[in-house]
Structure 1
Amino acid sequence: MTKKFYQLSARERLEAMDLTPSLTAFYRERQSDEMPNLIENYFADFTLPEGLLRHLVVDGRSYQVPMVTEEPSVVAAANNGARLVGQAGGFQSHQTSQSLLGGQILFQDVAIDELLAYVSEQREAIFEAAKLAKPSMVERGDGLKDVQIRSLAGRRASLDLTVQTGEAMGANAVNTILEAVKAVFQPFSKNIVAAILTNAGHDALVTVTTQMPVSLVGGLAVAKAIVSLSAFGKVDPDRAVTENKGIFNGLSAVVLATGNDYRAVEAAGHAYAGSTGRYQSLSTWKLDDTGEFLLGSLTMPVNIGRLGGAIAAMPMAQRNLELLGAPSLGALKKVIVATGLANNLAALKAVSGPGIQAGHMRMQARTLAIQVGAVGDEVLKVANGLAAEGAVDQNHAKKILGEIRKNDA
């Protein structure tokens, strides 16, 4: 019996793809024993570079933070921002993030009063169904914690479940509970559209702040420029999108390095950025009343895990958590958000001061050197040559590389 493509081994898939011998050999060299079962139709590993945020101080503790990203300047910016904040004592957290994940049972063409009455009558049955679906969660103190009904436009409604998931992100657990609870609503079965978790993270907000003397960022004029630029992110969605992207540059790099779902975190963050009815920057920078201190804060939902899922299957994710010092789930969330705020500070300081292009181009020069064929020590030599000439483009890179190789011959 012929196997379907998804049933083939990784090596068999390559053979079935009818590639050139060189491309087949390229992908074969990039197959591993660790990744095949993580995704469908696996045939090779795609690797990204991992850099280190050397000292990130949060609540008085210094962390070595792994960051996985393809963008050249992100790790440098994170280190720059963390260094400035570190000189002022580091970041502080101001609330304990809950390990709570939401789920929804969605109803249409439903009388909200009837549904509200039914939920009130069946509340005990709802919690019992959730308990039977995941008894181990309840035994360790987790599981379903709350049930609420929300009325939506067009005779629609959402039954919102709040589930405490413990050390795991808990997506599969929440979906299992939802399916069990859905059975309680048999009288409304024709009205149910779906039962699915939500990544909104309303109950998983994390806040980090910093207070630093304006002298650390270059004086009062620089601090005022940072505050002014931050204010644009509150009134102009176009500016807010770019500022939030800069926050996620650092934040998502840590989420990815720890084996978590950066897409879910980003989606929740962007939704929260628009929760007032107007899309805004997630961060806020302002001066204190004396004008002597620059105050920064970042609040957003973070639903991640420390156990289970891809983390359990990815040795790098496990080792990266070890590198971080095996933090609690709450501490890990704060580290992630603090990294985002560090990147944000570095970006605002650069944009409001000398401009972000200079730093970006220094990092881009290295990437360009590799693109034109530089290897080993040649990469830095080409990058330095491009910086000296002030022209970071492929033609200049090729010219400099040629001159280097001619002189070394």
Structure 2
Amino acid sequence: MPHTIQGFSRLTKDEKIAWLTSNFLSSNANATQILKQYWNDDQKLQQLHDEFIENTISNYYLPLGIAPNFIINNKSFAIPMAIEESSVVAAASKAAKFWMSRGGFKTQILGTEKIGQVHFTFSGDSKKISAFFEEQKAQIIEDLKPHTESMERRGGGLKSLKLVNKTNALEHYYQLHATFETLDAMGANFINTCLEQIAESWQRLYNEKASFKSADQELVVIMSILSNYVPGCVVRAEVSCPVSELSEADGIDPQLFANKFVQAVRIAEVEPYRAVTHNKGIMNGIDAVVLATGNDFRAIEAAAHAYAAKDGSYSSLTHATIEDGIFKFWIEIPLALGTVGGLTKLHPLVKLNLEMLGNPSAPQLMEIIAVAGLAQNFGAVKSLTTTGIQKGHMKMHLMNMLNQFEASEEEKNQAIQHFKTNKVTYSAVENLITNLRKSAQNA
């Protein structure tokens, strides 16, 4: 019989765990203990976490690290990063320190508008529906006022609304394309509320006032939803210095280093197989700060990768040049972020992390997070074009491997000393631990 259940959401947390362990984890005697050991002793704090999502059974922890020494627009930052991958925080910190004495990172907000769409079908004359929209546009916007007044008082709200004919792509398909300014809020709920009101007004006005309406000219609203693709909500971050100042790049000749670095970025610009991994490295830095500040890393990822393909082929999000002896490295990336609402006002660590960053506005957080991505990418490309990516990464991964072998503190200390001068690989770590334990048994 399949293990199904009715009313699972109405069970207590203990009852949920009991059902789960008896049906799907029956072979693991420690399952209940493992789940409960991550409960917070502070019941009020645990309840807060339980209510973030549905059917909660435990908490899932990620390490929270700090990347210090960032200079952004001449201001110092220590950037919080929540991530499970070894070497990410170290690489960002090393890049920050490298650029600290070379002018730091400079940023510029290129736009903050976000997008939503009402998708509908219309089977009649496109010219008639377009003219009708222009006639009714003012009324649609007037109907929206109760939802936008508060945002408008702060300088945000609906910025534009237009009808887009997409029948060349899909038969009878049109959309009402709206742009919004949501200030320090990510704005998903605000935008979706506005779009549903726009859709309701549009359908009602068509039904009541379209004189050309007939059985063969039906208008049907399909759905109303924001877009996570935000090419009008973009930030630029960059670093630059004379090529001669790159002399500390792992001992390599600065001109050779600059040339190889630029060529590596150009490869990512033209080769999608490389670009995907290149951009994944950028997102290592970006996602870690997005998570630490209570924002939606899935939306950020989707927007970034769509932007990377905006010119018709998937390409690098970063770019590099050497002009008149100046090395320049930069990123332009869409980042729809919020510093009010959602977890930013609920999760104690998120609130603390935002305070650590100086309680930034949404645009300021865009700048910080773009810098984290650029720093991460600089560290990765620098390693790839000099020592190779594995030398540093595997040393950072050493502790994870030692923990997999349940190494004692003494074994860890001996392994750390051994691998200061030896190459770290999984088999090398396994052999070392095996030999250490044999030696201990024979002693």
Normalising by the smaller structure, the TM-score range is over 0.9
After TM superposition, give the deviation of residue 371 of structure 1 in Å: 0.9
Residue 320 of structure 2, aligned match among 281, 285, 288: 285
Cα deviation digits, residues 83-113 of structure 1 (max 9, x gap)? 2222211111133542x32111112344432
- Taking the aligned partners of 1:158 and 1:387, their CA distance within structure 2 comes to 61
Structure 1 residues 300 and 395, CA gap change in structure 2 (3 angstroms): closer
User: 2:407 touches 2:433 (CA, 8 Å); kept in 1?
Assistant: no
Q: Which residue of 2 aligns with 1:26?
A: 34
Q: Which residue of 2 aligns with 1:372?
A: 405
Task: Tell me if 1:11 matches 2:14.
Answer: yes
Cα deviation digits, residues 40-97 of structure 1 (max 9, x gap)? 2111111111111101111111111001111101111111211222221111113354
TM-score by length of 1: 0.92
TM-score by length of 2: 0.86
Cα deviation digits, residues 355-395 of structure 1 (max 9, x gap)? 11111111121210111112556445424434544252156
Task: Tell me if 1:248 matches 2:277.
Answer: no
User: 2:391 touches 2:424 (CA, 8 Å); kept in 1?
Assistant: no
- Taking the aligned partners of 2:140 and 2:407, their CA distance within structure 1 comes to 63
- Taking the aligned partners of 2:193 and 2:431, their CA distance within structure 1 comes to 57
User: 1:248 touches 1:266 (CA, 8 Å); kept in 2?
Assistant: yes
RMSD: 2.3
SS in 1 for 2:239: strand
Q: Which residue of 2 aligns with 1:328?
A: 361
- Taking the aligned partners of 1:41 and 1:377, their CA distance within structure 2 comes to 42
Structure 1 residues 48 and 142, CA gap change in structure 2 (3 angstroms): same
After TM superposition, give the deviation of residue 11 of structure 1 in Å: 2.4
Report which stretch shifted further, 101-110 or 343-352: 101-110
Report which stretch shifted further, 147-156 or 173-182: 147-156
SS in 2 for 1:195: strand
SS in 2 for 1:280: coil
Q: Which residue of 2 aligns with 1:67?
A: 81
- Taking the aligned partners of 1:378 and 1:216, their CA distance within structure 2 comes to 41
Residue 211 of structure 1, aligned match among 215, 218, 240: 240
- Taking the aligned partners of 2:350 and 2:409, their CA distance within structure 1 comes to 28
Report which stretch shifted further, 130-139 or 230-239: 130-139
Cα deviation digits, residues 248-292 of structure 1 (max 9, x gap)? 11111101110100111111011111111111101001102x22x
Task: Tell me if 1:107 matches 2:145.
Answer: no
The count of aligned residue pairs is 405
- Taking the aligned partners of 1:323 and 1:267, their CA distance within structure 2 comes to 27
Unaligned ranges ≥5, structure 2? 41-45, 208-217, 248-253
SS in 2 for 1:168: coil
Unaligned ranges ≥5, structure 1? none
After TM superposition, give the deviation of residue 236 of structure 1 in Å: 0.9
- Taking the aligned partners of 1:401 and 1:389, their CA distance within structure 2 comes to 17
Report which stretch shifted further, 163-172 or 247-256: 163-172
SS in 1 for 2:109: coil
Matches within 5 A, 1:8-407: 8-17=11-20, 18=22, 19-20=25-26, 21-32=29-40, 33=46, 34-95=48-109, 97-98=111-112, 100-110=113-123, 111-152=125-166, 153-154=169-170, 155-186=172-203, 187=206, 190-218=219-247, 219-288=254-323, 290-291=324-325, 293-376=326-409, 378-386=411-419, 388-394=421-427, 396-397=429-430, 399-400=432-433, 403=436
After TM superposition, give the deviation of residue 167 of structure 1 in Å: 1.3
Runs of 4+ in 1 over 6 A off after TM superposition: none
SS in 1 for 2:155: coil
